[in-house]
Amino acid sequence: MTQAPASNELFQRAQKSIPGGVNSPVRAFRAVGGNPRFMVSAKGPYLYDEDGNRYVEFINSWGPMILGHAAEVVNEAVQKAIPNSLSFGAPTRREIEIAELIVSMVPSIEKVRMVNSGTEATMSAIRVARGFTGRDKIIKFEGNYHGHGDSFLIAAGSGAITLGVPDSPGVTKGTAQDTLTAPYNSLDAVKALVDANKDQVAAIILEPVAGNMGLVTPQQGFLQGLRDLCDQEGIVLIFDEVMTGFRLAAGGAQELYGVTPDMSTLGKIIGGGMPVGAYGGKKEIMDFVAPAGPVYQAGTLSGNPIAMAAGMAMLTYLKEHQEVYTDLEKTTNSIVAGIKQNMQQLGLNYTINQVGSMFSLFFTEQPVVDFETAKTSDTALFGRYFNSMLEKGIYLAPSQYEALFVSTAISGDLVDQFVQANYEALQEAHNN
Ligand code: PMP
């Protein structure tokens, strides 16, 4: 048993001054039981907690640390930028350089605006889409997460294709009724919504590969079908690539699947670990953004010089080392093959979804293609599996409904360590 008395004590203390003891809910381990570990430092594939325990990383700060922690190329750029002041609130050369770099990497982006989080990126993107089309409604998919903007905290009423119902107190009915929801991978459901709301839908927003209900892949023809529908109906197609951008390919899921949206939202890797987001797209749409156009969006710290230095170093590295993506996929393939072999030996047949360096093991035997099928997972079993892996020094996302991220710091030895731990944890989860 790993001991974590210092983390346990800190968690008790944290709950007195921070809601739930954490600054973002899923960090609290509520879905898996037990207390979160409080981290002190990280290097490469390893995280170190307050008790001196070491963990092998498969979350990587929820995606950004694709090169592992404290990557020198990023840290050096940050250290070089610090003495020149932490913020100007005035334009800098580096903001042009990073914009040009993003335009050169992401197929849909001709112009881009930097913000400070993925949430800001998606909130801003739908405002621009509404301003551009003069329409109010948006369509999102069940189980897709686009940050905590009011318009996105909406769940579908028991599968019915109806007006949105707020998912969180504090989201008004007025806001909710402009968000329509459809099951992921159901082009028919989207078409029905568009028909029922003729000329009222401003945007369709989705994760082109969904990572927020566990990893769920777009079925053949789904992305292209949405593209065609948006073209026919004058709807702005937005790919939320906060997670998949610079992760699945240098140009994100849109490059991998060869479908180009009208707008894209970015986050996570784009800041190399600093708080950064961005939204961009076609020139004629982005020219609606102030001060070029009438749609207001601003930020005191947007384009922050330290964050831009980190992002620039990260993106430049990825653009110049695109073999990273084939290497990451190979590593992830070995992990997934190892899990499959373990399951075969143990007589288990759970579903694994994978794209590139993202994957999820779902504790269900059904194929997982949308939120309904994701919810057939045995989350209690997942909780036991998670805690067993943690005991063995493997740090997973503390929820069944998250994807795992592999970094370039995961070597062959660490793959073996993961696969061995997985075998034992699967056994233990079933015995307890
Ligand atoms: N969109 C997607 C697809 C995400 O995965 C996330 C965060 N996990 C967000 C938006 C929100 O980003 P942030 O947490 O930086 O606000």
* 238-289 confidence digits (pLDDT tens): 999 999 999 999 999 999 999 999 999 999 999 999 999 999 999 999 999 9
User: Environment class of residue 372 by beta-carbon count within 10 Å: exposed (0-12), middle (13-18) or buried (19+)?
Assistant: middle
Q: State how far the Cα of 278 lies from the Cα of 265, in Å rounded to an integer.
A: 6
Q: Closest Cα partner for 182 from 225, 148, 220?
A: 225
In the prediction, which pLDDT does 165 show?
Answer: 55
In the prediction, which pLDDT does 421 show?
Answer: 98
At a CB cut-off of 8 Å and minimum separation 6, what does 283 contact?
110, 111
Structure tokens at 20: 């739930």
Give yes or no for residue 243 CB within 6 A of ligand 1. yes
Give yes or no for residue 141 CB within 6 A of ligand 1. no
Give yes or no for residue 402 CB within 6 A of ligand 1. no
Q: State how far the Cα of 102 lies from the Cα of 316, in Å rounded to an integer.
A: 10
Q: State how far the Cα of 190 lies from the Cα of 204, in Å rounded to an integer.
A: 9
Whole-number Å distance, alpha carbon 211 to ligand 1 midpoint, is: 10
Q: What is the widest separation between alpha-carbon atoms in the chain?
A: 62
From residue 205, alpha-carbon distances to 22, 155, 201, 226, 238 in Å are 29, 14, 11, 10, 5
The ligand 1 atom nearest the CA atom of 120: 16
Q: Is the dihedral of CA 430, 400, 42, 48 positive or negative?
A: negative
Q: Whose CA is nearest to atom 10 of ligand 1?
A: 146
**pLDDT under 70: residue ranges of the chain:** 1, 155-166
Length of the chain equals 432
Catalytic residue among 111, 137, 268, 392: 268
Asked if residue 238 lies in contact with residue 264, where contact means CB atoms within 8 angstroms, the answer is yes
In the prediction, which pLDDT does 155 show?
Answer: 59
Which H/E stretch holds residue 374? helix 371-374
At a CB cut-off of 8 Å and minimum separation 6, what does 117 contact?
147, 267, 275, 276, 277
Domains and CATH numbers, the chain: 5-70+322-431 (3.90.1150.10), 72-320 (3.40.640.10)
Q: Closest Cα partner for 250 from 328, 325, 333?
A: 325
Tell me if residue 268 is catalytic.
Answer: yes
Ramachandran angles phi, psi of 209, nearest 5°:
-125, 120
Give yes or no for residue 117 CB within 6 A of ligand 1. yes
* Amino acid found at 146: H
The ligand 1 atom nearest the CA atom of 119: 16
The ligand 1 atom nearest the CA atom of 63: 8
Which H/E stretch holds residue 318? helix 305-320
Could you write out the three-class secondary structure of 59-107? CCCCCCCCCCECCHHHHHHHHHHHHHCCCCCCCCHHHHHHHHHHHHHCC
Q: Model confidence over 112-161: pLDDT tens digits?
A: 999 999 999 999 999 999 999 999 999 999 999 999 999 998 853 323 23
Task: State ipTM.
Answer: 0.99
Catalytic residue among 46, 55, 145, 401: 145
Which H/E stretch holds residue 155? strand 154-155
Q: State how far the Cα of 23 lies from the Cα of 11, in Å rounded to an integer.
A: 12
DSSP 262: S
Give yes or no for residue 280 CB within 6 A of ligand 1. no
In the prediction, which pLDDT does 166 show?
Answer: 63
Tell me if residue 375 is catalytic.
Answer: no
Q: Whose CA is nearest to atom 9 of ligand 1?
A: 147
Give yes or no for residue 58 CB within 6 A of ligand 1. no
Q: pTM for this one? A: 0.97
Tell me if residue 198 is catalytic.
Answer: no
Whole-number Å distance, alpha carbon 120 to ligand 1 midpoint, is: 9
Mutate to test the pocket of ligand 1, among 216, 243, 265, 404 (most ligand atoms within 8 A of CB): 243
User: Environment class of residue 198 by beta-carbon count within 10 Å: exposed (0-12), middle (13-18) or buried (19+)?
Assistant: exposed
- Which letter, b or e, does each residue of 17-38 get, where b requires 16 or more Cβ atoms within 10 Å of its Cβ? eeeebbeeebebbebbebbbbb
In the prediction, which pLDDT does 162 show?
Answer: 39
Strands (E), 196-345: 201-206, 236-240, 263-266, 277-281
Give yes or no for residue 143 CB within 6 A of ligand 1. no
Structure tokens at 411: 């070597």
Whole-number Å distance, alpha carbon 243 to ligand 1 midpoint, is: 7
